[in-house]
Amino acid sequence: MKLTNVLHNSIKGIANFYHTLGDLVTPRHCVSCGAASGNSYLCAACKDTIILRPTTGCCKICGNLPSSGSHGFMYCSSCLANRPTYDIARSATIYEGAVRDMILALKYKQGTYLVKDLAALVEGCVRASYSDEQIDAICPIPLYPTKERERGYNQAALIAKELSKNLGVPYMPQLLERVRHTFTQTKLNSEQRKENVHGAFNSSNTVADYVYGRNILLVDDVFTTGATCSECASVLKRNHAGKVFVVSIAREQ
């Protein structure tokens, strides 16, 4: 391990220690509204605003909610027109309010103390959505190495690792690698997102024997159009993966 990585991990460990020590001295404050929140990172009022996404009555593939008046499982118009490469995608919550604040704190404010709470939401989604499916490995959507070094960690990897522990399913981040830097997807439309991530990922020959025939659960923080997840599923299936499932903390409406 490089010295810079050792120093960074040491600093992060010290920061987490003092964050925990601070919880013993003073009450925590809500990540979303700032109010005193006892031993939780969200106050009761902000917890009540979290909207869990339904696991039924949505698109059978991507989990998109049906239009008004539709009932039961269905295929959304987007999946009918251009079916994703992944088999099923589900998200625990809607990307707004308290959950959005938690994800942004995790990504941009070193909020790694939120991993357990966010992973618990994801775990509930997996248990509700994939109870009838065999999952052989859990793999996070990878960051480009430069981006991961700048941030200090991959937020999806932290969630995936905690989820792996909770579900008792192997954590295997080596199944995917990001081989090309991509621009932020935030302001891109659906077609631009697909183009942006095309060729950005790889599943190397060194993991082909493990990937072959196995069902992989991809973990991401926010699901928008699914372009990134579909590209990742494509490279896994080129290595002859069985099914590729997706789970995210939240989905943009």
Domain boundaries, the chain: 48-251
Radius of gyration of the chain (CA): 18
Q: Which two tokens stand for residue 223?
A: 């699901």
Tokens 């604040």: give the residue.
101
Is 154 or 69 the better-scoring residue by pLDDT? 154
Q: Where does the pLDDT of residue 219 fall: very low under 50, low under 70, confident under 90, or very high at 90 and above?
A: very high
User: Torsions phi, psi of 152, nearest 5?
Assistant: 100, -10
Instruction: Report, as an integer, the average pLDDT of 217-238.
Output: 96
The pLDDT value given to residue 5: 47
Contact call for residues 90 and 239 (beta carbons, < 8 A):
no
The pLDDT value given to residue 88: 97
Residue 70 has pLDDT above 70, yes or no: no
Residue 110 has pLDDT above 50, yes or no: yes
Cα-based distances in Å from 72 to 10, 64, 69 = 50, 12, 10
Residue 96 neighbours by CB distance under 10 Å: 14
Who's near 227: CB < 8 A, 6+ residues apart?
Answer: 185, 190, 193, 194, 196, 197
C-alpha torsion sign, points 252, 139, 117, 167: positive
Contact call for residues 98 and 31 (beta carbons, < 8 A):
yes
Tokens 């790889």: give the residue.
202
Query: What's the CATH code, domain 48-251?
Result: 3.40.50.2020
CA angle 96, 190, 222 (to 5 degrees): 30
List pLDDT tens digits, range 167-199: 999 999 999 999 988 867 766 777 788 887 888
Helix (H, G, I), strand (E, B) or coil at 109: coil
